[in-house]
C-alpha cells in the first residue's frame, strides 16, 4: 500500500528572522494516504502546510508535491492540489452555488462537468438542499463542509486541510472526519490534514507529531501506541514531547480574548 509518493519533504526549514519555525523536517506521504500532522499551537503546522501548498517559500530544503517542485513549479503544484485554510475563507455574501461557481472559473472546470460535480459533492456532505442559500446563514460546520467541497471541486490529487475541525463541536468534528474518509474512499485523493485534537489522528494512516518545529514521532497510530507503550494518542504525544498538547493550546489571540473578557468584567 502507498508505494507511490504524493509528497516528499527533505530537510524543510523556515525561519522568520532569528526564529526557526520549521527546523529541518523530512517526511513523505504515500499516494492515496490519509496523513495527519499533529502538534500544539505554534508547533509549525501552518508554516509547513503553507510551504507545501506553495504559499510560503522555504528558507531551505526540498518539497515535491505530485512530482512537482513546490518552489520551481509552483503553478503545477497549485493546479494539482486543493487547500482548506485554518481561518475561514468564504465570502459570506455569496450562496453556496455561487461560491463553487467562482472556484470553478478560477480552475477552468468545464461547465457541464461542474454541474454534475457540484451535485455529487454537495450530496456527499449533505448540503444539497442549501445550495441556493447565502453562506452567512450557515453554521460553522456547514461552512467547513462547503470549504471542503470547494477544495475538492477541481479533482485535486492532494487535499490539504489546516485544522478543519477547529472550533467545531465534537459531533460536527466527527462528521467532518467521516466525510473526509468517505471522500478518500470514493476519490483518487491524498489527504494531508493538520490538527491539535489528538484522538482525531486515529483516523489517519500515518501520523507525524511536530513540536517546536521538529518532528518528534512518526508512524501509524497502532505503531506509535506500541512504541510508546500507550493506549491513546494523547498519551503517545505526552511521551514523545514530554508535555501535553493542551499546555499550549491557547493561542496568544485566544488568551488576549480571555484577558479582555476578564478586564471587561465577564466571568470565564
**What does the binding site for Mg ion look like in residue numbers (CB under 5 A)?**
45-46, 86
Options 10, 24, 41, 59; binder of ligand ATP; rule CB under 6 A: 41
Options 38, 43, 189, 198; binder of ligand ATP; rule CB under 6 A: 43
Partner touching 106 among ligand ATP, Mg ion, none, CB below 5 to 8 Å by kind: none
The string of DSSP codes covering 102-164 is HHHHHTT--HHHHHHHHHHHHHHTT-GGGTTSBGGGS-HHHHHHHHHHHHHTT--SEEEEEST
User: Could you tell me which residues come within 8 angstroms of residue 200 by beta carbon, excluding any fewer than 6 positions away?
Assistant: 36, 165, 173, 177
Q: CA dist 19 to 13, 37, 60, 95, 261, Å?
A: 11, 21, 14, 42, 31
Compute the least distance from the CB of residue 173 to ligand ATP, in Å. Answer: 15
Partner touching 117 among ligand ATP, Mg ion, none, CB below 5 to 8 Å by kind: none
Residue 260 touching ligand ATP (CB under 6 A): no
Partner touching 225 among ligand ATP, Mg ion, none, CB below 5 to 8 Å by kind: none
Please answer whether residues 52 and 1 qualify as being in contact, where contact means their C-beta atoms are separated by less than 8 angstroms: no
Cell of 87: 481561518
Options 32, 36, 39, 141; binder of ligand ATP; rule CB under 6 A: 39
Residue 28 touching ligand ATP (CB under 6 A): no
Please identify, among the stretches 45-53, 69-77, 198-206, 224-232, the one whose residues bind ligand ATP according to the rule CB under 6 A.
Answer: 45-53
Comparison of 47 and 241: residue with beta carbon closer to ligand ATP: 47
Comparison of 33 and 211: residue with beta carbon closer to ligand ATP: 211
Compute the least distance from the CB of residue 111 to ligand ATP, in Å. Answer: 37
Partner touching 6 among ligand ATP, Mg ion, none, CB below 5 to 8 Å by kind: none
Q: Which residues bind ligand ATP (CB under 6 A)?
A: 16, 19, 21, 39, 41-47, 86, 196, 251
Amino acid at each position: 500500500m502507498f508505494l507511490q509518493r504524493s509528497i516528499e519533504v527533505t530537510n524543510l526549514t523556515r525561519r522568520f528572522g532569528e526564529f526557526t519555525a520549521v527546523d529541518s523536517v523530512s517526511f513523505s506521504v504515500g499516494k492515496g494516504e490519509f496523513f495527519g500532522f499533529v502538534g500544539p499551537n505554534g508547533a509549525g503546522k501552518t508554516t509547513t502546510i503553507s510551504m507545501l501548498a506553495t504559499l510560503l517559500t522555504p528558507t531551505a530544503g526540498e518539497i515535491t508535491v505530485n512530482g512537482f517542485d513546490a518552489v520551481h513549479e509552483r503553478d503545477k503544484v497549485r493546479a494539482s492540489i486543493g487547500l482548506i485554510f485554518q481561518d475561514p475563507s468564504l465570502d459570506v455574501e455569496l450562496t453556496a452555488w455561487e461560491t463553487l461557481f467562482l472556484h470553478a472559473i478560477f480552475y477552468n472546470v468545464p461547465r457541464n462537468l461542474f454541474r454534475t460535480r457540484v451535485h455529487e459533492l454537495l450530496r456527499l456532505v449533505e448540503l444539497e438542499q442549501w445550495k441556493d442559500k447565502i453562506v452567512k446563514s450557515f453554521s460553522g460546520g456547514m461552512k467547513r463542509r462547503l470549504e471542503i467541497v470547494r477544495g475538492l471541486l477541481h479533482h485535486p490529487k492532494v487535499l490539504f486541510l489546516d485544522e478543519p475541525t477547529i472550533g467545531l463541536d465534537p459531533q460536527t468534528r466527527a462528521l467532518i472526519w467521516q466525510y473526509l474518509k468517505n471522500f478518500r474512499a470514493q476519490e483518487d485523493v491524498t489527504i494531508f490534514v493538520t490538527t491539535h485534537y489528538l484522538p482525531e489522528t486515529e483516523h489517519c494512516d500515518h501520523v507525524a507529531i511536530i513540536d517546536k518545529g521538529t518532528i518528534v514521532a512518526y508512524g501509524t497510530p497502532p505503531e506509535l501506541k506500541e512504541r510508546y507503550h500507550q493506549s491513546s494518542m494523547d498519551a503517545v504525544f505526552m511521551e514523545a514531547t514530554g508535555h501535553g498538547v493542551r499546555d499550549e493550546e491557547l493561542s496568544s489571540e485566544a488568551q488576549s480574548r480571555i484577558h479582555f473578557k476578564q478586564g471587561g468584567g465577564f466571568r470565564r
